[in-house]
Amino acid sequence: MLSPEHIIKQPLITEKSTWEGQVRNRYSFHVDMSARKEQIRYAIEKLYNVRVEKISTQIRKGRSYRTRFGVSTVADWKKATVQVHPEDKIDLF
């Protein structure tokens, strides 16, 4: 089993995720591709000391770009959006 530090790669800091964190108490993370929802829940609760209510995951497709040697692609990645208990907050800054 992966450790929590290997499951959660980094928090996603975008305009939309910052707004959702303040208004809806939802936070987005870049996670390992092989991580399941139970593992993500355990990692978030362990690292940030919060209670997780709901998890949504997406596999984001890597974009294609053209180089002088042909077409290359960025690797696919997995995004997890986590809703925490209303009494809990995650301070990402």
| CATH code at position 44 | 3.30.70.330
List, for residues 8-35, the tens digit of each pLDDT value: 999 999 999 999 999 999 999 999 999 9
Structure tokens at 93: 């800054």
Residue 93 lies in a domain: no
Q: Which residues pair with 37 in a beta bridge?
A: none
Q: In this predicted structure, what is the pLDDT of residue 79?
A: 97
- Whole-prediction pTM: 0.88
Which range marks the domain in which residue 50 is found? Answer: 4-84
List, for residues 41-93, the tens digit of each pLDDT value: 999 999 999 999 999 999 999 999 999 999 999 999 999 999 999 999 998 87
Q: In this predicted structure, what is the pLDDT of residue 78?
A: 97
Q: In this predicted structure, what is the pLDDT of residue 92?
A: 82
Residue 66 lies in a domain: yes
The 3-state DSSP class for residue 32 equals coil
Q: Which among 42, 32, 38, 39 has a CA at the least distance from the CA of 10? A: 32
Total structural domains within the chain: 1
Residue 41 lies in a domain: yes
Residue 72 lies in a domain: yes
